[in-house]
Chains A and B, each alone.
Chain A
């Protein structure tokens, strides 16, 4: 009975297709609830704690909101750069003329991810100067692999006979790419986008090392000054941001997935 009522209230807010997606994938409803609970616990913990002078420097709304804002800027900007580079590159790498470069490029992307992000970040900072831009570009190099690989794999995985019938009916290679191949690869590409988003939210905590801001502004002082509440707030907020990104990306995956597949 309870589920029926819940479905009915949801139904008044959502379109029929959205209702179908939530019904099919209950965990999409569970995740925001968990996020809110974790956030509530964190706020309760902070509220019941008497802040000392050092803690009060960071545990205040203007400071925290600025850290979150910077964190989002770092993650979104690097993710946007990655998307703008990796998806076109992945498409290009599956075209007949560029196919032979695919292993080499994937290797490079692998290397990009295998390098310790923090080391590269510090070196880039020393070489090119500190600040947000350098952090954003370093994170972008670090997180390019999931989207690149998923774009290549998503396109390669398409049933070759589907493409043959598209070409056989008189589509040009470009038409086949836009009308058939890309829509069919969308779910796999979006899964890569989700992985990359979570990755960039994670590494954005390093932004603090090059004066890029972000939630690292709480984590690093928390560690250095041995203030557990500061450390915990920074860590938990990073997790909450990552989970929220993940949820939003999953929503996008569900809504953008072509209906027939």
Chain B
């Protein structure tokens, strides 16, 4: 997962009153959707199926042309630039992956660089670099065809292909939705690690709230016609759902989920270490809680200090009040 290439950082996306109405439809599919997506963040559109989240995302690269409204990327209005030029600078990953079955993995990844007219040597280098980046050995996979790969491997290629020309913006439509649960979690974690390095601006669509919590720097909870019910960090949404719709989407287990979002480095510890298991500072409150549920009396955090069940409870109350 090493990245030697200097990568283009993300750009801010601003969507202004984006509206989509299909012919012969009484209602807008997406109605006056406005949102600012900060540069370098993952913003997750989450909502029930049919709420318009995918339509909204597909208007950003104009796979679906908006009926009205404006799209600004890095401050530049791209609502009317030629669509194919716009799309070459936006990575695009879909659930069905859509690899070209008649082309090798290498050629698939090389698609956009070829469209942009890069020279052959540069493309070859870039393909190998990207395959390495997504954890596929170039020597082994470059010459294979998509059908010779598992679903998880195919989606890694999908991500590599989207990143090939180093776009500032990445659109992902339920990219891990079709993989089995174990592969999905692995891909999610890898993607999160990758994004920490690349700092692209990512618009990520999912109907899976867990996935939104795991990946999103911010989450936009959408309801019918892509209406924004709430837009905020995962912690804000969990601890302070803005509307009843958000509340029902967040569900009952909100506080338990929140534990998984706060790391042990963020809370106050009792100085000194004691006899008991040790967690790293990157571990979450949830992992500490699991130790206590498992019967431990004390949990050490690195060498900085330790927690008791009572001090953990206090920290949880404190964390909750901080965001509320």
Contact of B96 among A159, A169, A170 (CB under 8 A): A159
Name the A residues within 8 Å of B86 (CB-CB).
170
A residues with a Cβ closer than 8 A to B are 159, 161-172, 175, 180, 183-184, 258-261
Report the minimum CB–CB distance from B292 to chain A (whole Å).
47
Min CB distance A25 to B, Å, is 18
Please tell me if the beta carbons of B100 and A166 are within 8 angstroms of each other in the complex: yes
Contact with A along B66-97 (1 / 0, CB 8 A): 00000000000000000011111100101011
A169:B111 contact, CB within 8 angstroms:
yes
Partner of B146, one of A161, A167, A168, A260: A260
Q: Which residue of A165, A166, A168, A260 contacts B104 across the interface (Cβ within 8 Å)? A: A260
- Report whether B92 and A168 are in contact in the complex, using a CB–CB cutoff of 8 Å: yes
The winner among B84, B97, B147 for most chain A CB atoms within 10 A is B84
A169 touches B146 (CB 8 A): no
Contact, CB under 8 Å: A259 / B92? no
- Indicate if the CB atoms of A183 and B85 lie closer than 8 Å: no
Q: Which residue of A lies closest to B92 (CB)?
A: A168
B19: interface (CB < 8 Å): no
Known: A165-B98, A169-B87, A260-B104. 7 other contacts (CB 8 A): A163-B98, A164-B98, A167-B87, A170-B88, A171-B84, A180-B100, A184-B102
Tell which of B112, B115, B145 touches A260, judged by Cβ atoms closer than 8 Å: B145
Q: Which of B158-192 contact A (CB under 8 A)?
A: 161-162
Q: Write the nearest CB–CB distance from A173 to chain B, whole angstroms.
A: 9
Residue with the highest number of chain B CB atoms closer than 10 Å, among A165, A170, A175: A170
B92 proximity list for chain A (CB < 8 A): 165, 168-169
Q: Does B103 sit at the interface, judged by CB under 8 A?
A: yes
A183's partner among B84, B88, B96, B102 (CB-CB below 8 A) is B102
**Could you show 20 A-B contacts with beta carbons less than 8 Å apart?**
A161-B97, A164-B94, A165-B92, A165-B94, A166-B98, A166-B111, A167-B63, A167-B87, A169-B92, A169-B112, A170-B112, A171-B115, A175-B115, A180-B100, A180-B102, A184-B100, A184-B101, A260-B101, A260-B103, A260-B147
Q: Which residues of B contact A161 (CB under 8 A)?
A: 94, 96-98
A51 to chain B minimum Cβ distance, whole angstroms, is 55
Q: How far is the CB of B130 from chain A (nearest CB, A)?
A: 14
Which residues of chain B have C-beta atoms less than 8 A from A159's C-beta? Answer: 96, 98, 101
Chain A residues closer than 8 Å to B146, beta-carbon distance? 260
Chain A residues with CB under 8 A of B84? 167, 170-172
CA distance A169 to B97 in the complex (A): 12
The yes or no answer to B226 lying at the interface (CB within 8 A) is no
Across the A-B interface, give the 10 residue pairs with the lowest CB-CB distance, nearest first. Answer: A165-B98, A170-B88, A260-B145, A258-B102, A161-B96, A170-B87, A168-B92, A161-B98, A260-B102, A170-B84
Interface assignment of B61: CB less than 8 Å from any CB of chain A: yes
Known: A260-B102, A260-B104. A169 touches B88 (CB 8 A): yes
In the assembled complex, how far is the CB of residue B107 from the closest CB belonging to chain A, in whole angstroms? Answer: 9
The answer to whether B87 and A168 touch across the interface, beta carbons within 8 angstroms, is yes
Judge whether B103 and A162 touch: CB under 8 Å: no
| Distance A172 CA – B85 CA, assembled complex (angstroms) | 9
The answer to whether B63 touches A168 (Cβ under 8 A) is: yes
